[in-house]
Amino acid sequence: MHIRSAEFVKSAVKPVHYPPPDLPEIAFAGRSNVGKSSLINTLVRRKHLVKTSNTPGRTQHINFFRVNEELMLVDLPGYGYAKVPAAVRKQWRPMIEAYLSGRPVLRGLVLILDIRRTPGPEEISFLQWLKEQGVPAQLVVTKADKLSKSRQTLRKKAVAEALAAAPETMILFSAKTALGRDALWREILALVSAR
């Protein structure tokens, strides 16, 4: 994918603050600190378009980024980080669910998983909920650069198994080496043109 332009559009919490639904949207979700913002930066080949951080729970709003005047990439706040204040954590779920269930231009969601961590009930029930909402999900296992090639294959299989997914449908990714960038763009563009 050739990037002609990538720009931050808006940060929102409530639906009234979302930008006008003029372009197809792809959302990115995953646990806190899994690498959502880094993955978006890698997709658009811009190191600092989206703020990244070593402190989990840094992205607390829904952030919209426009690419090539063609589509919108939507960075969702991460879930599952215990050290974020309870009041903040409590508003995440309704915020994310309101967006995912009520956005007419949403074409799909990229669920980002850490290759070193076996997904649990949170991911399983989230995927089930997406299915019920009719939101297609693309699974990505990221931080692949942290493991050897042979460990990557083993861990990818374990992650797939925990989610009852076929390993070949999951994309191996690294924000550090850009591994998986082209494969993920292919899937994103397929989701965008699926309707």
Ligand X SMILES: Nc1nc2c(ncn2[C@@H]2O[C@H](COP(=O)(O)OP(=O)(O)OP(=O)(O)O)[C@@H](O)[C@H]2O)c(=O)[nH]1
Binding site for ligand X (CB under 6 A): 30, 32-38, 52-54, 56-59, 78, 142-143, 145-146, 174-176
- CB of 140 vs Mg ion, minimal distance in Å: 15
Residue with tokens 């009852």: 164
CA 4/CA 10 separation, integer angstroms: 19
98-129 b/e (C-beta count within 10 Å ≥ 16 → b): ebbeebebbbbbbbbbbbebebeeebeebbee
C-beta closer to ligand X: residue 143 or 156? 143
- CB of 195 vs ligand X, minimal distance in Å: 28
Tell me which DSSP letter residue 81 carries: -
C-beta closer to Mg ion: residue 59 or 152? 59
Helix (H) or strand (E) holding 106: strand 106-114
C-beta closer to ligand X: residue 10 or 146? 146
Q: At what angle do helices 121-133 and 86-102 cross, to 10 degrees?
A: 30
42 makes contact with Mg ion (CB under 5 A) = no
C-beta closer to ligand X: residue 86 or 164? 86
Q: Which of residues 8-37 bind Mg ion (CB under 5 A)?
A: 36-37
- CB of 117 vs Mg ion, minimal distance in Å: 17
Residues that bind Mg ion (CB under 5 A): 36-37, 59
